[in-house]
Amino acid sequence: MPGFELFGPEEQKEVKDVMEQGFTFRYNFDAMRNGHWKARDMEQMLQEKMGVKHAHLLSSGTAALQTALAASGIGAGDEVIVPPFTFVASVEAVIMAGAVPVFAEIDETLCLSPEGIKAAITPRTRAVNLVHMCGSMAKMDEIKAICKEHDLVLMEDACQAIGGSYKGQMLGSIGDVGCFSFDSVKTITCGEGGAVITNNEAIYNHSHMFTDHGHDHVGSDRGAESHPIMGLNFRISEMNAAVGVAQLRKLDKIVEIQRRNKKLIKSAMADIADISFREIPDESGDSAGFLSFMLPTEARAVEINQKLAENGVDGCFYWYVNNWHYLKNWSHIQNLKSPAKLAIELLPERPDYTQVSTPKSDAIMSRTISMLIKLSWSEEEIAQRIENIKKAFA
Ligand SMILES: *Cc1c(COP(=O)(O)O)cnc(C)c1O
């Protein structure tokens, strides 16, 4: 998965380009930049790649989530349905927006399930933060229909699934607003960076304004611009965008390598009796950044995770005990630990997050192991890996 495995002269050239012009700001400086626009170029490329009207590049995936929430009108007291299996940012962004995360169950897609979402809807629900975990997608048709029926904003966090698609539509482009991360370990990277994509003009306009103190970005005199809203600074620098331009050009190749490597390992594992694979609603659209599978019991998963490590199979994740990816281990979130008082503490009806229970998700995640699919593996390394996996199961 990590795009940094393919760093080469292409990324160096783009960064050098920025340094040679002598500026790193993404807006204005028209006279200095001699027509070089890295953030703008990457946005154009993302729009084309994702088949959407608008893309806005910003400083991180976390900033993308916060921006998507604000730009979609989600704020104080609004309930947002989130999964218990995700990166903590999906939940932090909701809390920092003054909104209320409501945990719902996942299914064997490892993403929020349609039934789980339905069961979590209340009169205060305003949005679903759907996370396409570990490279593959949720049951989008059903989830889209539920969001439509209940008039909910459908956000797609595709930070771990860029390049994947569902029935021909790119992940991130299916809901009202999609988020990507280009941090240093993601499928493609800017060093640090992220993006919001949407077909909704109001969400786009609020996004670029929100990430730049409300600037409307009309005209070429920054000082004379008006600011219809307040915002913050979630801007990306041209240095980071330059890396991303070169990486985005490699996305098709990266996904192709992931799919080839994953297929070799997955088919070699298909005859292992006691595993089942994660459900993938549209297998042809799998970005293939991870291979995830379930063991029959928690005890067996713990044992296999140990055996995989002992046999030198690196890049395996038993998420159920992982501090950053599963609700059960997030004591700081359960106890709303923050340096300052949070808006959510003013809400009498907030859930007690120490008492949240997601038994269906526990039953799935306690049996699930994911393997990272790397880009740099040689054929020999893959063959060796398969042999080591078989030894672990023997
Ligand atoms: C990485 C990630 C984020 C956050 O992205 P950053 O760029 O690191 O802020 C959010 N959601 C998911 C699912 C992620 O994997």
Same domain, 171 and 78: yes
What is the pLDDT at residue 107?
Answer: 98
CA distance 65 to 390: 40
CA distance 319 to 133: 11
Ligand 1 pocket test: pick from 106, 159, 370 the residue with the most ligand atoms within 8 Å of its Cβ: 159
CATH number of the structural domain spanning residue 283: 3.90.1150.10
Could you tell me the two tokens for 346? 């003013």
- Three-state DSSP class for 17? helix
Count of beta carbons in the 10 Å neighbourhood of residue 226? 9
Same domain, 222 and 268: no
Domain boundary at 232, 250, 268, which? Answer: 250
Helix 89-96, helix 61-71: angle, nearest 10: 40
Quick check: 102 and 82 in contact, CB under 8 A? yes
- Least Cα distance to 183 among 71, 93, 63, 96 occurs for 63
Cβ 3 under 6 angstroms from ligand 1: no
Measured from the Cα of 60, ligand 1's closest atom is 7
CA distance 292 to 307: 16
- Residue 281 dihedral angles phi and psi, to the nearest 5°: -55, -30
Domain boundary at 219, 250, 281, which? Answer: 250
Ligand 1 pocket test: pick from 183, 185, 370 the residue with the most ligand atoms within 8 Å of its Cβ: 183
Measured from the Cα of 132, ligand 1's closest atom is 13
What's the CA-to-centroid distance between 390 and ligand 1, angstroms?
32
Same domain, 310 and 340: yes
Could you tell me the two tokens for 2? 């990590």
Cβ 94 under 6 angstroms from ligand 1: no
Could you tell me the two tokens for 359? 């038994």
Cβ 59 under 6 angstroms from ligand 1: no
Length in residues, the chain: 394
Same domain, 170 and 55: yes
Helix 238-249, helix 9-21: angle, nearest 10: 150
> pLDDT means per 10 residues in the chain (394 residues)?
92 96 90 92 98 98 98 97 98 98 98 98 98 98 98 98 98 98 97 98 98 94 93 98 98 98 97 94 98 98 97 96 92 96 93 96 98 96 97 94
Residue 49 bears catalytic tag: no
What's the CA-to-centroid distance between 180 and ligand 1, angstroms?
7
Same domain, 225 and 281: no
Same domain, 222 and 289: no
Count the domains in the chain: 2
What's the CA-to-centroid distance between 62 and ligand 1, angstroms?
6
Instruction: Name the DSSP letter for residue 236.
Output: P
Return left, alpha or beta for 110; rule: phi > 0 is left, psi -120 to 50 is alpha, else beta. left
- Least Cα distance to 373 among 386, 362, 361, 364 occurs for 386
What's the CA-to-centroid distance between 8 and ligand 1, angstroms?
24
Quick check: 179 and 195 in contact, CB under 8 A? yes
Cβ 183 under 6 angstroms from ligand 1: yes
Same domain, 179 and 259: no
User: pTM for this structure?
Assistant: 0.97
Same domain, 192 and 51: yes
- Three-state DSSP class for 58? strand
Same domain, 301 and 347: yes
Quick check: 280 and 108 in contact, CB under 8 A? no
Cβ 86 under 6 angstroms from ligand 1: yes
- Please name the residue whose Cα sits nearest to atom 5 of ligand 1: 61
- For residue 388, the enclosing domain spans 252-393
Domain boundary at 250, 276, 299, which? Answer: 250
Cβ 92 under 6 angstroms from ligand 1: no
CA distance 357 to 276: 25
Q: In the chain, what's the furthest Cα-to-Cα distance?
A: 70
> What residue has token string 């985005």?
248
Cβ 157 under 6 angstroms from ligand 1: yes
Same domain, 277 and 135: no
- Please name the residue whose Cα sits nearest to atom 2 of ligand 1: 159
Same domain, 186 and 295: no
Task: Please name the helix (run of DSSP H) or strand (run of DSSP E) that holds residue 67, with its range, or none.
Answer: helix 61-71
- For residue 80, list its beta bridge partners: 101, 127
Going from the C-alpha of 390 to that of each of 36, 48, 307, 369, 387, the distances in angstroms are: 51, 42, 10, 15, 5
Could you tell me the two tokens for 294? 């379930």
Measured from the Cα of 181, ligand 1's closest atom is 7
- Please name the residue whose Cα sits nearest to atom 3 of ligand 1: 61
Cβ 115 under 6 angstroms from ligand 1: no
Cβ 155 under 6 angstroms from ligand 1: no
Same domain, 124 and 187: yes
- For residue 157, list its beta bridge partners: 131, 179
Amino acid (1-letter code) at residue 262:
K
Instruction: Name the DSSP letter for residue 345.
Output: G
Cβ 89 under 6 angstroms from ligand 1: yes
What is the pLDDT at residue 23?
Answer: 87
Could you tell me the two tokens for 242? 């330059």
Active-site residue identified among 49, 144, 186, 328: 186
CATH number of the structural domain spanning residue 181: 3.40.640.10
